[in-house]
Structure 1
Amino acid sequence: MTRWLTEAVPRGRVAAFRTLIYLFVAADLVVFTPWVRTRVSVPGDLYQPLLIGRLLPLPTPTATLVAVIFWSLLALALLAATGRAPRLLGWAVCALYLEWMIIAMSYGKVDHDRFGLLIALAVLPTAGRARHGDTTRTEAGGWALRVTQIAVICTYFLAAFAKLRFGGLDWLTGSVLARAIIRRGTDLADLIAQVPYLLIVAQFGIVAFELLSPTVFFLPPRWRLAMVGFFYSFHVVTIATITISFAPHLAAMTSFLPLERVRPLIWARRLVGRSPTAPTSTPPDQPPVDARAEASPLGDQVPAVGRPAGP
């Protein structure tokens, strides 16, 4: 079990995952959860902190507190994405983002799609230093990625458990998806809803897929990637039908992918190196030189350039 939990991975994979996660945190602040800043306009009596917020305890959000968290977290996440000071910046980002989420989720709604991301932020500081493109393997980095993977799969499995715990078998045969389509469905969802019993079949399929998600750990690497691809396709369909993105979960799920193969900076340098400037041309009065070597009658390779002219 210990060997599986600490299976070594290339340091380049850890570096790429770290950069992606911290860039997502910065994007989350300005794209996905900027509404958290509006919580300061809500009366403090409506602030009902989560259990962790009651245990610490954390203060009721104020305009100053939220502004300090927002700008500090944005700056530190961008710095952490560079890979510098991984422990210091990593722990700072983890603490600030946790408080950001406590503020966001303490007004009556808790999103389960952020569990994997929070775990990733908690374990990345333990992975140590890692550079993009480094092929040396690290068990500490492997442990960080494995724990994130477990959190991602727990998100699926525990979601199915919650469905059956609170909704019972009625969740499978009820109108859950129908209500979701009425509230926030797209034109594609409206077409799907017209097919008799298809939504019921989809509900059975969702619960089955979530309950079987742990099998991803028992598959060979190629099939594991195929199953992760299925996970992503499931969320593509979810976005296309009921406009729920699960973006934080999708970011954490990249822990399954061989991210060390994704080298955008290297690709960009190669593209820049292939400049469209034309190669040096030969003088107008000289015919173009054939770059291929020509064989002499004796079998020697005599380059075309410099071969004496003659009959």
Structure 2
Amino acid sequence: MAGVVKALGRWLTEAVPRGRIAAFRTLVYLFVVGDLLIFTPWVRDHATVPGALYQPLFVGRLLPLPTPTPALVSVVFWALLVLALLAATGRAPRALGWSVFLLYFEWMIIAMSYGKVDHDRFGLLVALAVLPTAGRARHGDPTRTEAGGWALRVTQIAVVCTYFLAAWAKLRFGGVEWLTGSVLARAIIRRGTELADVIAQVPGLLIAAQFGIMAFEILSPVVFLLNERWRNRAVAFFYSFHVVTFATITISFAPHLVAMASFLSLERIRPIVWVRRGLRRTDGRKRTAGPAPDQLADPAGGAP
């Protein structure tokens, strides 16, 4: 038993390059900014909704959190926007990280306490909760960190739980009849694209797709048993699944896709280094090209 516990501990804290943490941190915090401006700006409209319509989620009742007001929503929005931009730079990872998590948590409570709860933000919320524990990290730093590895692993577990628990919810509330029902057909009628209309005309394809979705979600934890090569392929399949989902029924799962980047070797993406290299190459070309014609004047002031 002790051996199993030690093995689990090593797996949970498998060290990763600090550069990967820095890249993931920047991606997550920049997405928070984009989320406020692009994906969930409608949350600000809740500031003017009558308080009687506010039905807080369980955690909102447990704490308890205040009923949204124009002042509260504005403070959360602007504070979160500024602090997320600062956090994306990697400075003060704990102070800024915890602040962004708490503010975004409140933003989600305000967003989801009026009758609709999206499950695509679970992984992102977990990422925001654990990133402050990873400590400082610089882009391109190859030094390995167990604290950062734990933060990424916990985020990965949240991503996989999103799939697995979605399958459980389907079976819990829809039963096995979900597999042979008209779930996808209804989704296509409500928000389907032209591609979805073409697919819907193929006999039996939507039912087969529902069986495929259930199998994919139930088997998603297998990704942790794969070696790096096959794990990357599995994650690529996860992303392709969401590309098809968006192309057919326009559901993006953008927050989930950002959290799923915790599986990727993001330390290989080094935009700052690329910019510096580009500037060096440009400077090198200028030096190789030599001085411009108007710089070839005679030192005494005459023409050459």
The TM-score, its normalising length taken from structure 1, stands at 0.89
What is the identity, as a one-letter code, of the residue corresponding to 1:15?
A
SS of the residue corresponding to residue 205 of structure 1 reads helix
Q: Indicate which of 254, 268, 279 corresponds to 2:288.
A: 279
- Deviation of residue 277 (structure 1)? 4.4
Listed one character per residue, the Cα deviations across residues 29-52 of structure 1 (whole Å, up to 9, x for unaligned) are 000000000012221111000011
**For residues 224-263 of structure 1, what are the structure 2 equivalents within 5 Å?**
224-263=231-270
SS of the residue corresponding to residue 279 of structure 1 reads helix
Q: Indicate which of 42, 65, 68 corresponds to 1:58.
A: 65
The residue aligned with 1:128 is 135
CA distance in structure 2 between the partners assigned to 1:139 and 1:280 by the alignment: 48
List gaps (5 residues or longer) in structure 1.
Answer: 283-311
The residue aligned with 2:164 is 157
- Please report the RMSD computed on the Cα atoms of aligned residues, expressed in angstroms: 1.2
Looking at secondary structure, tell me which structure has more helix per residue. Answer: 2
CA distance in structure 1 between the partners assigned to 2:86 and 2:47 by the alignment: 27
**For residues 171-190 of structure 1, what are the structure 2 equivalents within 5 Å?**
171-190=178-197
What is the identity, as a one-letter code, of the residue corresponding to 1:215?
V
The residue aligned with 2:56 is 49
The residue aligned with 2:229 is 222
2:168 maps to 1:168: no
The residue aligned with 1:307 is none
Count residues in correspondence: 282
Listed one character per residue, the Cα deviations across residues 97-154 of structure 1 (whole Å, up to 9, x for unaligned) are 0000000000001000000000000000000111111111100000000000000000
CA distance in structure 2 between the partners assigned to 1:79 and 1:252 by the alignment: 20
- Deviation of residue 199 (structure 1)? 0.3
Q: Percent identity?
A: 77
The residue aligned with 1:308 is none
What is the identity, as a one-letter code, of the residue corresponding to 1:225?
N
Listed one character per residue, the Cα deviations across residues 149-172 of structure 1 (whole Å, up to 9, x for unaligned) are 000000000000000100001111
- Deviation of residue 280 (structure 1)? 3.4
2:154 maps to 1:147: yes
2:89 maps to 1:87: no
CA distance in structure 2 between the partners assigned to 1:203 and 1:60 by the alignment: 39
The residue aligned with 1:288 is none
SS of the residue corresponding to residue 117 of structure 1 reads helix
Q: Based on CA coordinates, which of the two structures has the bigger radius of gyration?
A: 1
Listed one character per residue, the Cα deviations across residues 7-42 of structure 1 (whole Å, up to 9, x for unaligned) are 000011011111110001111000000000001222
Q: Indicate which of 16, 38, 43 corresponds to 2:45.
A: 38
Query: Which ranges of 4 or more aligned residues in structure 1 deviate by more than 3 Å?
Result: 276-282
Q: Indicate which of 8, 13, 22 corresponds to 1:15.
A: 22
2:9 maps to 1:2: yes
CA distance in structure 1 between the partners assigned to 2:279 and 2:178 by the alignment: 55
CA distance in structure 2 between the partners assigned to 1:207 and 1:27 by the alignment: 31
Listed one character per residue, the Cα deviations across residues 182-241 of structure 1 (whole Å, up to 9, x for unaligned) are 110000000000000100000000000000000000000000000000000000000100
2:224 maps to 1:193: no
The TM-score, its normalising length taken from structure 2, stands at 0.91
